[in-house]
Amino acid sequence: MRKMSDGVEAALHCVLVLASLPTGKVLAGKALSELHGLSESYLLKHLRALVAADVLVAVPGPKGGFRLSRPPQAISLLQVVDAIDGPEPFFACREIRRRGPGKSKDPCVYATDCFIKSRMLKAEQAWRDSLAAQNVADLVEDGRTLIDDHNKAAVASYVENARR
């Protein structure tokens, strides 16, 4: 089983910030990396993955940067997670039930999927469905109500000065 990468957190914070941009404006990768205290090369790798997944648009040139590819309500949290970590299942059944003293050479013994695998994949599907039902607009609304005024003002000021 793998865990969700740190890149998912960075990507979600970036799409939240980009959701605040006025139409036609962009933020450079460098500005996003400075805002979040991350290495620019590290963050650019994730921003490129978001572009490849059609979550972001990259605008080239000296006045270029990144913006959302569509309205915040049209970008699910699952799309962001999948762009960074891929759509592969988090649980990988290694069929360890076929090892050890209980193993059998009769292939019929293991004709059905492992019930542990089935339960894990069912739980993951519920998690994926939950992420698919939430979108960047939901994050924006959370930010409006949960981020303190000082932090909101500091980020807004930074973004206003850094946007292109």
* DSSP codes of every residue in 19-48: TTSPTT--B-HHHHHHHHT--HHHHHHHHH
> What residues contact 148, with CB distance under 8 A and at least 6 apart?
none
What sign results for the dihedral spanned by CA atoms 82, 85, 87, 89? negative
Type of residue at 88: E
Burial of 44 from C-beta contacts in 10 A (0-12 / 13-18 / 19+): middle
pTM attached to this predicted model:
0.88
Tell me whether residue 121 is in a domain: no
Tell me whether residue 118 is in a domain: no
Tell me whether residue 18 is in a domain: yes
The confidence score (pLDDT) of residue 30 equals 97
CA 38 to chain CA mean position, Å: 16
CATH number at residue 42: 1.10.10.10
The confidence score (pLDDT) of residue 47 equals 98
Q: At 121, which helix (H) or strand (E)? A: helix 115-132
Radius of gyration of the chain (CA): 21
CA angle 123, 127, 133 (to 5 degrees): 140
Mean pLDDT, the chain, whole residue set: 92
Tell me whether residue 111 is in a domain: no
The number of folded domains in the chain is 1
Tell me whether residue 60 is in a domain: yes
Tell me whether residue 49 is in a domain: yes
| 7-41: pLDDT as tens digits | 999 999 999 999 999 999 999 999 999 999 999 99
| 135-153: pLDDT as tens digits | 999 999 999 999 999 999 9
Structure tokens at 49: 């993955």
Contact 29, 43 (CB under 8 A): yes
DSSP state of 102: T
Domain that holds residue 28: 6-87+135-162
| 85-103: pLDDT as tens digits | 999 988 888 887 777 776 7
- Strand, helix or coil for residue 53: coil
What sign results for the dihedral spanned by CA atoms 140, 31, 71, 125? negative
Tell me whether residue 107 is in a domain: no
Tell me whether residue 12 is in a domain: yes
